[in-house]
Each structure stands twice: as structure tokens, then as C-alpha cells.
Amino acid sequence: MGDVKEIRRGTLETQTFYEQVGGEETFRRLVHRFYEGVAEDPLLRPMYPEEDLGPAEERLTLFLIQYWGGPTTYSDNRGHPRLRMRHVPFTVNRAAHDAWLRHMRDAVDSLGLSEEHETTLWNYLTYAAASMVNTPD
């Protein structure tokens, strides 16, 4: 029995975060829930010129999957993420930052992750949101 525990512990330590939290399905649920909030947000929705948020949802999903150790489909299709550069055309101020995080918090909470995984994910998302701010208040 002790051997099984050792094997499981070793496997968990070699899994990527992506694998540990449930893979593609988890990130698709996260981003879909996030964009449900964005669709109704008067501050964020205008930042998406497409009528359909599906393409933006797919891009964020693929980016997060790749970032956390999943397939590299994002970079294979779009090249280097260059997140700050891709957001330059948009006014990202503190209000937009806060709205983005509000919707992302709801999405993260909906996943039911372990406390450790939730903290790891949330720490990254708050860092990423802060780094996208490009307009002072």
C-alpha cells in the first residue's frame, strides 16, 4: 500500500498545473464563465468589437491552457503571446482592471478547485491583470 502512495505522490509532483486541475475542461469552464460576465459588463464589453465573444473566449482559453502546461496551440496559431502589446489599443485603467478581476473571481470560484490550486491560479490572474493596465486613472 505504501508503494501506491509513493507512486501517486510522484505522479502528482510531475503533473503540470494544467493536468492537476483537470486539463482543458477546467480552463474552458473558467473562461466561459468569465465571458458570461464580460458579455453583460458595460465597461468591458465595448473592448470586444466582435459581436460574438466566442473568438476572444477561445484565445484566452488557449492562452491559459498553454501557460499552465497544456498544449501549445495558442502559440502554434498566434505566435508569442505579447499580451501587453495586444492590449495597447484598449484603455485598460484601474476600473477595467477591477471589472476584469471581478468577473474572473466569479469564474475561479465556480471551479471548486483545492485551496492551493485556487491560490496559485488567482495569484497569476491578479498579476496578469495588473500588468495589463496601460492608462492612469
- Which pLDDT score is estimated for 7? 44
92: helix, strand or coil:
coil
Kindly report, residue by residue over 71-84, the tens digit of the pLDDT: 999 887 776 655 55
- Which pLDDT score is estimated for 113? 98
- Which pLDDT score is estimated for 1? 44
Instruction: Please say if the pLDDT value at position 67 is more than 50.
Output: yes
- Which pLDDT score is estimated for 123? 97
- Which pLDDT score is estimated for 126? 97
> Looking at residues 40-61, what average pLDDT do you find?
91
Query: In 40-114, which ranges are continuous DSSP H helix?
Result: 54-67, 73-78, 83-87, 94-111
Instruction: Please say if the pLDDT value at position 2 is more than 50.
Output: no
Q: Would you tell me the crossing angle of helices 115-132 and 94-111 to the nearest 10 degrees?
A: 160
Going from N- to C-terminal start, the domains of the chain cover 19-132
DSSP labels, 1-58 = -HHHHHHHHHHHHHS-HHHHTTTHHHHHHHHHHHHHHHHT-TTTGGG--SS--HHHHH
- Which pLDDT score is estimated for 136? 82
Q: Which residue has the cell 505522479?
A: 11
Q: How many CA atoms lie within 13 A of 32 on its CB side?
A: 8
The model's pTM: 0.83
According to CATH, the superfamily of the domain at 19-132 is Globins (1.10.490.10)
